[in-house]
Amino acid sequence: MKQVSQEARYRQMMEEPVYTLIPRLAVPTIVSMLVTAIYNMADTYFVSQLGTSPSAAVGVVFSLMTGIQAVAFMIGMGCGNEIARLLGQKDVEEAERYVATGFFTELLVGTLLAVLGITFAGQLVYRLGSTPTIAPYAASYTRYALLGVPFFMCSLGMNNMLRFQGNSFYSMLGIATGGVLNIFLDPLFIYVFHMGIAGAAIATVISQMISFFILVWQCNCMPACLSIRLRRFSPSIERYRNMLRFGLPSLARQGIASISVIVVNFAAQPYGDAAIAAIAIVSRVAMFMNSAIIGFGQGFQPVCGFNYGAGNYKRVEQAYNFSLRVCFSALLLMGALVFFNAERVMMLFRKDPEVLAVGTLALQLQSLSIPLAAQITMANMFSQTTGYNVRATVVALLRQGICLIPILLILPRLLGVRGIQAAQPLSDVFAAVIAFFITRSILREMRNKTAEQEKAESNSGKTLAQAKEV
């Protein structure tokens, strides 16, 4: 049954028109990304009702969770890329080894990070940019949130590995169910059980556990999915090298995002808890806008991986161009809507005049540059999935690292809080330009490979014709 399903999946990836295949694969991933973004915003919303300092605390801890997410994505994306390429080559057995190795590696690493983080939570929050008034809330949230890290990391790993198999619907069910549950559990634990910010963390942990068990069940029971089996756990230098090679861009992208949040928190400290809270809210809203585009890009990745593994470079380019146009158009529309409703959006979270003053302009500037994230995001996914890992890592580091961090270190000193508000939009401009030229260089190389293939096929055809004549 599984072999039939895998063969059918292969034909679908190789033959179905990209303008129907990618949206169909993307819809589940878009839903899961939006739900994830919504439940992250729900944490921000419900906690923000407790006060400015608790609201800022969630923003501070967000950098830690982003860093952990970076490690999980590195393993999951590294395995997923290799799985898609192996399935494109019809090597199902080796693909199953990568599934098992990725899952159990996530579990072991997640447990280690949870133990270390809980042990040093009190000191850690100051390293993340907490002020003395924010630190007690941040430490409380951290200690509970880290309990879910093993489940969180395994869920992200399974989510990515399912997507690269072309099973994005199953990944959506697991992630989205947990996300929706979190939205309902947040007010229950925060207000009904009177647990405050700790309640938000506990609600998130329970949601992550539910997602974990749903995803494990689907991986092992659905015919189209590669199973997770302990006997398939095959750690080796070669497999971990491939995970790192294909997953490094994801680690770079997510890891630098974590570092940039810490830098933003420190840059905003002189302007008080209100500035930290405002920027945290703007970041969550921007993440929500970008999440749909990431979801669409994740629908593109298995198509890209399968076809690149099979040497069908023309189809890879066709899929990339289609995805880029769709993503840019969608972000342009969302950016326009947010720009004209920036203050209303901020007021959903906090009505504090200081928070509104900083956040409204920052959100407007971010909405102007957000369409450029389409070029950056698609360039990263395209270069990563096709194995151009050095260039993929550079692209991954651009938006929130190479371009953003120097701007954050310089601009606030010149413009004060205006420098913080303008930092991310300005970074988007520089990052998009660089990403464009990197993508163009990869496309040029792929066209050369296509030309070589066509030449070889032509020569082979001539040789065959001559042989027949003889």
How far apart, in Å, are the Cα atoms of 38 and each of 43, 228, 291, 302, 355?
9, 29, 10, 25, 21
Alpha carbon 408 to its chain centroid, in Å, reads 23
Q: How do residues 153-170 score in pLDDT, each as one tens digit?
A: 999 999 889 988 878 788
Q: Domain map of the chain by residue range? A: 2-456
What is the rounded distance in angstroms from the CA atom of residue 84 to the CA atom of residue 81? 5
* pLDDT for res 147: 96
pLDDT at 52: 78
465 pLDDT higher than 80: no
* Residue 341: C-alpha distances to residues 9, 46, 127, 347, 361 (Å): 43, 21, 35, 10, 11
The pLDDT confidence band at residue 55, using thresholds 50, 70 and 90, is confident
pLDDT at 453: 79
Q: 349-390, pLDDT tens digit by residue? A: 888 888 898 999 999 999 999 999 999 999 999 998 888 888
Task: Please say if the pLDDT value at position 267 is more than 90.
Answer: no
pLDDT at site 435? 96
Confidence of residue 229 (pLDDT cuts 50, 70, 90): very high
**What pTM does this model have?**
0.72
Report the pLDDT averaged over residues 22-50: 80
Contact of 201 with 54, CB cutoff 8 Å: no
